[in-house]
Chain A
């Protein structure tokens, strides 16, 4: 009685009952496939949400003029006064530590035209770092330089939606547009950022800061000889120092504005700390969600496999009795069932992984979500199902093989 002989008995028993073998395998295929597919979809959802939130630039801190009351951006707009100056920016840039970049911006809604097309766009006069601080990249052309800022050249970089609105498909780089009646050269177009920030992040025009003071006709950009800014944005070196950086910035600005300790600040520091905390809530929720999906599908798959194995092997108690009656030893019977359940579990597990992978691919192809099959989920699903299949395949066989042949044969 050698192993290959045993293998042959198992194969013969499996092929003699093709339907039962296929159904048993189907249970495993569905169990494993469900786990792999669900986990891939969950993983894809997490990755997509995380990348969208990361696109906002989560270490970013922004200073707005005026005191923010009641919370929210709309409240800010109504209390906005021109109480931030370019000199504030210069002081922050000079003295702040633990920041990676600092960018002032002056904003004005302007009418922009190209040929017959006219749109109203938020034009932002700023420094070249605006692009990197706000996590933009250039799709075409180039960014303006510090030199452009110093010389107040009339160049513009367009957001992707603005470019599409104005040029409807034409390459804007090298063409001229009019901002508030003044002619500008388009030198670059930003990559689409998509939603995820506030408002439409792709509908904007960037121009050099000094050009803005020269050309934007918002009137009050220069107040009693001092250049004002709409906001100052900077990035903390990392998430841990955000609070500390904010306190430092507040101290410098209060000093610059000559505020006494009792006086309220005439500016607002807005960090994305709230966003950060909500982000961590989201990812925690997603992790729990994902774990629950994996757990439940493993449980359901496992119960399916357990049932079909228990039923199909228990049903064969009589066969086990008969084999014993004609002289099979316990070890021989257990080996036969071990080989059988191994074959079923491994083949079913493998097919299940393929099915799960196929579902993940189909979901991705259908553009629903970019599902990510991870090898951990494959290993988990495969390992768990194989273990469950093996245990619940062998256990009834072991139990039946312990019966006296006459008892096993009497089993109905």
Chain B
């Protein structure tokens, strides 16, 4: 599904070279739900952007669904993003003054879906996130949690192979954040959706079966969670995540 080999990402800032990613290897299978964790500056968001084809690695190989994407042109990447990837941002990134429905329909326009079909699919996606009755509302008429759910509906509308989320709960209060995680768990469990999200919060990360920890642009640990938390469970006092390493 996702196969990343020896990926680096180097930013040049003046004379300084910043290695945001420094030789990352990662394989994530279909239908997995994974959290990528780490402090800020650890490279977790950079990795997610590369996984989502929003950015390209400086060196290294990345195969998505068996297709090598690291050498793709800008337009080819746009097509991959459109058809295989749903991306959810910390700041929602909805178009202002545009209805929820129109926001969700946007990826379908670029896929060349007919107008009638677009509306049907967008409504179905909004239904999945429980916002069908608010589809004519604009972002400023929706709460933060609702806006994030519209953004998730937009990410789901093209039936993407993977759903990626960068700090999806970062701009939300803990209760609303829990709702978003619950939605991810439902999508994962009921629809077999591959979900990868980035968080700096060990509690949020613990809602998945697999937690990848990053530090200084490298993967420091890759752990399986024997008993992931159910969304809505109380925050445990002991957040030790170590159980057993993921096989393979």
Indicate whether A327 sits within 8 Å of B97 (C-beta atoms), given known contacts A9-B109, A12-B102, A406-B49. no
- Are B81 and A325 in contact, with the CB atoms below 8 A? yes
Residues on A with beta carbons closer than 8 Å to the beta carbon of B107: 326-327
Task: Give the CA-CA distance A323 to B110 in the complex, in Å.
Answer: 9
Asked if A47 is at the interface of the complex by the 8 Å CB criterion, the answer is: no
A1 & B112 in contact (Cβ 8 Å cutoff): yes
- Give B36-87 interface residues, CB cut-off 8 Å to A: 49, 52, 54-56, 74-75, 78-79, 81-83, 87
- Chain A 58-99: CB-based contact to B (< 8 A → 1; otherwise 0): 000000000000000000000000000000000000000000
Compute how far the CA of A330 lies from the CA of B75 in the bound complex, rounded to whole angstroms. 7
Q: Number of contacting residues on B, CB 8 A?
A: 28
Q: How far is the CB of A253 from chain B (nearest CB, A)?
A: 87
Q: Tell me if B175 counts as interface (CB < 8 A to partner A).
A: no
A215 at the interface (CB under 8 A from B): no
Which of chain A's residues 1-29 have a Cβ closer than 8 Å to chain B?
1, 5, 9, 12, 16-17
- Contact of A318 with B55 in the complex, beta carbons under 8 Å: no
In this complex, the member of A1, A16, A327, A332 whose beta carbon has the largest number of chain B beta carbons within 10 angstroms is: A327
- The answer on a CB contact under 8 Å between A329 and B78 is yes
Apart from A325-B81, A329-B79: 17 A-B pairs, beta carbons within 8 A: A12-B102, A16-B97, A17-B97, A323-B110, A324-B81, A325-B52, A326-B82, A326-B87, A327-B79, A327-B82, A328-B110, A329-B75, A330-B74, A330-B78, A332-B110, A404-B54, A406-B49
For the residues of A in contact with B, the DSSP-based class is helix
Contact with B along A116-131 (1 / 0, CB 8 A): 0000000000000000
Instruction: Check: B18 CB closer than 8 A to any chain A CB.
Output: no
Q: How far is the CA of A331 from the CA of B83 in the complex (A)?
A: 18
Residues of B within 8 A of A (CB): 49, 52, 54-56, 74-75, 78-79, 81-83, 87, 89, 93, 95-98, 102, 106-107, 109-112, 154, 158
List A contacts of B158 (CB < 8 A).
Answer: 327
Query: Which residues from chain A sit less than 8 Å from chain B, CB to CB?
Result: 1, 5, 9, 12, 16-17, 318-319, 322-332, 404-407, 409
Q: Max chain B CB contacts within 10 Å: which of A5, A330, A406?
A: A406
Residues in chain A near residue B93, CB distance under 8 A: 318, 322, 325, 409
- The verdict on A409 contacting B78 (CB below 8 Å), with A1-B112, A326-B110, A332-B110 known, is no
A327 touches B95 (CB 8 A): no
A17–B138 alpha-carbon span in the complex (Å):
13
